[in-house]
Structure 1
Amino acid sequence: MRILDLGCGRGLSSIFLAQKYEAEVFAVDLWISSSDNYVRFQKKGVAQRTIPLQLDATKLPFAENFFDAVVSIDSYHYFGNNNTYFEKILKPTLKKGAMVAFAFPGIKKELHENIPEEMKLLWDNDALQMWHSIDWWKPKFEAHLENFNISEMDCFSCAWNDWLTCDNPYAAEDRLMLEADRGRFMNLIKLTGTIR
């Protein structure tokens, strides 16, 4: 099986896929050095099955019908938040029947025209362009996927708490946002299906 891990970051999901399924994984990320990820893959014993690539997701160089699956965790909303990315750029690289599995942050309903007062200073314009509701995302995929499912994830608090306890400076900024949100506006979205 050949899997595209799109927006893999430091490759933890790629390592998991290579170890658990003995798959050939193409670990693609724009910001993380392929050399750094390669060192991580060597240390975890998956360098023979895991190919690190520092690439822009909007310019994928892969052949048509190349991948058996695509996974994207906490990154698809950065590059796929439009009406054409999935159909024109990503889908051509996937075989018929290829599995699609995404997880990314979102909002419970579209608030872009009516941002809650308490969130105005905490949600920057970049986030608002990327975060959308299930209803907004659904039409971008349902015509292309069989067994299509999109829903809120149950792990919102757990996932955010993990993030907020780390020493990343962005996590420190997000603490205020989560305190103001109190579970009212934001969510995490999961999306699965297979290519028609």
Structure 2
Amino acid sequence: MEATLEQITPVKTDVTALPFEKEFFDAVVSTDSYNYWGRDAEVVTIYEMESNEEVWADWLIQENEIAVNDRKTMGAGGGRYLNFIAFVLKKIIEPDAAVNEKSS
């Protein structure tokens, strides 16, 4: 399944203050934010994504400052130490919050 540009909403913000309505997302793709996702969530599974080489190849051909700098890192062998990890989490709803959500 592929998403169209109209279906993608890019956001750069503090993950604890996302500017979206409840139930807005079907899926979330996040980078460099794993430290936020352990809060108020049950870890269902964590695994190494099989797309690592393809994702890096797609990223490194981009013409932006960060990708250009990453080319230097990858060219120097940095790819041996980098990977894409998937965290599948389930939101924990506290009993009081569940009652409040039903009444709103």
Scaled by the length of structure 1, the TM-score of the pair is 0.36
Aligned counterpart, 2:96:
none
**33, 36, 41: which is aligned to 1:144?**
41
Deviation at 1:68, TM superposition (A): 7.0
Deviation at 1:182, TM superposition (A): 5.3
Deviation at 1:194, TM superposition (A): 2.8
Contact kept in structure 2, 1:164 and 1:174, CA below 8 Å: yes
Q: Against the structure 1 CA distance between its residues 161 and 28, is the aligned structure 2 distance closer, same or farther, given a 3 Å change threshold?
A: closer
Indicate the structure whose relative CO is greater, using CA pairs within 8 Å and at least 6 residues apart.
Answer: 2
Q: Which is richer in strand?
A: 1
**13, 17, 28: which is aligned to 1:59?**
17
SS state at 2:73 partner: helix
Contact kept in structure 1, 2:73 and 2:79, CA below 8 Å: no
Deviation at 1:170, TM superposition (A): 1.8
Deviation at 1:28, TM superposition (A): 6.0
Q: Against the structure 1 CA distance between its residues 180 and 153, is the aligned structure 2 distance closer, same or farther, given a 3 Å change threshold?
A: same
Q: Against the structure 1 CA distance between its residues 56 and 70, is the aligned structure 2 distance closer, same or farther, given a 3 Å change threshold?
A: farther
Aligned counterpart, 1:173:
69
Letter in 1 for 2:73: M
1:1-196 equivalent positions in 2, closer than 5 A: 12=5, 15=7, 27=9, 29-30=11-12, 56-60=14-18, 66-67=22-23, 69=25, 71-75=27-31, 77-78=32-33, 81=35, 85-86=36-37, 140=38, 144-145=41-42, 148-181=44-77, 183-196=79-92
RMSD, aligned α-carbons:
3.3
Name the CA distance, whole Å, in 2 between partners of 1:28 and 1:172.
Answer: 21
Q: Against the structure 1 CA distance between its residues 176 and 69, is the aligned structure 2 distance closer, same or farther, given a 3 Å change threshold?
A: same
Contact kept in structure 2, 1:29 and 1:56, CA below 8 Å: no
Q: Against the structure 1 CA distance between its residues 177 and 73, is the aligned structure 2 distance closer, same or farther, given a 3 Å change threshold?
A: same
SS state at 1:190 partner: strand
Name the CA distance, whole Å, in 1 between partners of 2:82 and 2:90.
Answer: 27
Deviation at 1:195, TM superposition (A): 2.7
